[in-house]
Structure 1
Amino acid sequence: MAAYNLSQLAEDDIRRLYRYGIEKYGLAHADRYFDGLFARFDAIAESPALYPRVDHIRPGYRRSVYGVHSIYYRETDSGAEIMRVLSRENPSDLEEA
């Protein structure tokens, strides 16, 4: 079974977007979005080549768009490593985790 790992930066991004979701839209909406986001992580791990490469942003990365967020990840032998989850941030500023 494929798996995913979250970089520390991705974990920080998720915490930030969850807090923002609660403040802006309420707990129920934030929970639904959060659950969907993690379902997307599972889908990425199962089929990491499904989503397009974004070598122009960071070599070796792929991107999956979920709602208003871009999930940047790279393929691994066991699935995927989720590197960042960004909204309107500049993707050219992606840092290595």
Structure 2
Amino acid sequence: MEKIRLTPLARQDLRDIWTFGAETWGDAQAERYFDAIYATLELIADFPDIARLRQEFSPPIRLHPHQSHVIAYDAAEGGIDVIRILHMKADVLALLEP
């Protein structure tokens, strides 16, 4: 079982982050940022309780910052389910509500 599982929206978020980074700062910087996000995902998967459970969401989820983004995830058996990876300036509450 994979320890990091991405929802389709989280996969699209990663594609969008890479594309924006490549268009704005070049492919090399986009790769560095992508690698840093993935390292943060691995850290979270190893320590899923690193972020507190946020009860204001239904169902409750965890949010962990990474530079300009916030990683929304749920701790699951054997790893994490990444729900979204959103820019910190986004309306995170609205984007995460069903």
TM-score greater than 0.5 by the shorter chain: yes
- 8 Å CA contact retained: 1:2, 1:46: no
Q: 1:28 aligns to what?
A: 28
1:53: Cα distance to partner? Answer: 2.0
Paired positions, count: 96
Distance in 2 (alpha carbons) for counterparts of 1:91 and 1:13: 13
- 8 Å CA contact retained: 1:52, 1:62: yes
- 8 Å CA contact retained: 2:44, 2:50: yes
Distance in 1 (alpha carbons) for counterparts of 2:28 and 2:20: 13
Q: 1:81 aligns to what?
A: 81
In structure 2, stretches of 5+ residues that fail to align are none
Q: Please state whether the residue corresponding to 2:54 is helix, strand or coil.
A: coil
1:21-49: per-residue Cα shift (whole Å, max 9, x none)? Answer: 00111111111000010111111111100
1:46-75: per-residue Cα shift (whole Å, max 9, x none)? Answer: 110011222224432101100100000001
Q: 1:4 aligns to what?
A: 4
Q: Please state whether the residue corresponding to 2:85 is helix, strand or coil.
A: strand
Q: 2:51 aligns to what?
A: 51
Distance in 2 (alpha carbons) for counterparts of 1:8 and 1:95: 16
Q: 1:90 aligns to what?
A: 91
TM-score, normalised relative to structure 1: 0.90
- 8 Å CA contact retained: 1:2, 1:45: no
Distance in 1 (alpha carbons) for counterparts of 2:42 and 2:53: 18
Distance in 2 (alpha carbons) for counterparts of 1:54 and 1:60: 5
Distance in 2 (alpha carbons) for counterparts of 1:79 and 1:14: 19
Distance in 1 (alpha carbons) for counterparts of 2:16 and 2:44: 21
- 8 Å CA contact retained: 1:58, 1:92: no
